[in-house]
Structure 1
């Protein structure tokens, strides 16, 4: 059910952050896009969230971004397991997403990528 998981890295400046990650991962970002006042870049197994601290704080409640093939099925499984949807489904440049807090308190963002993003990043 999970296609890929990204650990989140919080940064003030994307341009200052990416060179080291490119060196460490041996690759360039698979995705890089703006979302409101923040910028996101997926590189290796990291999702860099960059921008002003007050804007980043709006997303700091989730510790990971989880890519799934079907957001509706994932939501049903989350709710069946007692998870609370903390941010209702919305869309971004990459597809549909929601945030959920699991029983026990862990919180993650769940994303269903658009088919073209899925092919670009995972070759699927």
Structure 2
């Protein structure tokens, strides 16, 4: 299993208000922007910006980071071997498969296996066709 990218999570009330400064700091436009239920997300630089009502954001606040991996199944095996546990079972999102896990030391992380197009565009920097 390889970690492809790690995002620091930023919790905001409004995505459009938050993005201008992050565009300046990252020197780039968001790589991703999409809705997921009642929240809206944007990935820009090394930030995953999560916006929406506070009560909805709270459903995801237990994870300290989002880690993009090349093989989610191997993550589960490695977690089990190291005394960690999956706290939210695997599910699908617009970006691929994901789950939430708690490491033996207590860290809680969202792990995501992106669809191949996102890996190519964001990690491998392959221009869209």
Aligned to 1:39: 40
CA deviation string 1:73-123 (max 9, x = no partner): 111111111111110000000000000000121100000000011112112
How many matched pairs?
Answer: 124
Corresponding position of 1:122? 123
Question: Which aligned runs of 4 or more in structure 1 are off by greater than 4 angstroms?
Answer: none
CA distance in 2, matches of 1:107, 1:12: 23
1:15 positional shift: 0.2
Unaligned runs of 5+ in 2: none
Q: TM-score, normalised by structure 1?
A: 0.98
Q: What is the CA–CA distance in structure 1 between the aligned matches of 2:105 and 2:78, rounded to whole Å?
A: 16
CA RMSD of aligned residues (A): 0.8
What is the correspondence of 1:1-124 to structure 2 with a 5 Å cutoff? 1-123=2-124
Q: Secondary structure at the match of 2:75?
A: helix
Structure 1 CA distance for aligned equivalents of residues 3 and 118 of structure 2: 16
Gaps of 5+ in 1: none
Local SS of the residue matching 2:40: strand
Cα distance in 2 between the residues matched to 1:65 and 1:10: 13
The 3-state SS of whatever aligns with 1:10 is strand
CA distance in 1, matches of 2:30, 2:113: 19
* TM-score normalised by structure 2 residue count: 0.94
**Structure 1: distance between partners of 2:35 and 2:83:** 32
